[in-house]
Amino acid sequence: MRAIPLTVTTLAAALLLTACNDGGGSGGKNRSASGCAVGKVSVQAGSASVAPAAGDTGEVVVSITNQSAPCTLDGFPHVEVNQPGTTVTLKPQKGAKAQTLKLAKGDSATFTVTYVRGKDGDGKNLKAESMNVVLPGSDVGQNIPWKYGPIAGKTSQGDPEASVSAFQQAGD
C-alpha cells in the first residue's frame, strides 16, 4: 500500500525540481543553480586589439576565472554597453554557437567583444564609457571601463556595430 504514495511523492518532487529550470540557453538572464556568478568568479577585460581609426575593427577579450565551487557557463554572456543616458545590449556574433562550459575552481574561460570604431562626432556612434558583463544564471554584473573609442552605429546609437562571441575554455 505504501508504493503508490511513495511513487506519487517521488514524481511530484521530480516535477518541482524540473520547474526550477527555465530552459533558457542564451543571454545573461537564464537561471541555473550551478551558474557562475560575479563574486564567485573574477571578470576582467584582458588583452585588446584596439581599433586604431574609424572603420577599423577591434576586439576586447574578457576573462572569467572561477574562484569558488564548480560552476557552469551555459549560453552567451549578457553585455550592456553604457554611455550617459543610453544602455545598449550587444547581440551574439552571427553564426556563433553557445556551448556549455564547466569551470572547476581555478579554471578560466574567455569571450570576445568585437566592435567597429566610430568616427569622432558622428551622431550614430555610441560613446561608450563602460560595459556591464552579466554571466548566464546571474543577475549581478561586473562593470568594466570602456577605453577603446566610440562604437560605430549602423543606423543609430541603439544599433551598434558590435557583438559578443560564445564562451571559450582558456588554458589547458
List average pLDDT for each run of 10 residues in the chain, which is 172 residues long.
41 34 39 72 89 96 94 94 94 94 95 95 92 91 94 90 95 68
d(CA 103, CA 99): 13
Percentages helix, strand, coil for the chain (3-state, rounded to 5) are 10, 40, 50
Residues 6+ apart with CB under 8 A from 59: 48, 49, 112, 113, 114, 115
Structural element, H or E, at residue 111: strand 108-116
pLDDT score, position 20: 34
pLDDT score, position 18: 30
Q: Among candidates 81, 118, 78, 82, which has minimal Cα distance to 98?
A: 78
Q: Among candidates 80, 139, 133, which has minimal Cα distance to 110?
A: 133
d(CA 92, CA 10): 40
User: Which pairing describes strands 162-164 and 91-92: parallel, antiparallel, or unpaired?
Assistant: parallel
Claim: this prediction has a pTM higher than 0.85: no
Which domains are present in the chain?
24-170 (2.60.40)
Q: Is 135 left (phi over 0), alpha (psi -120 to 50) or beta?
A: beta
d(CA 64, CA 77): 11
d(CA 66, CA 165): 19
pLDDT score, position 31: 40
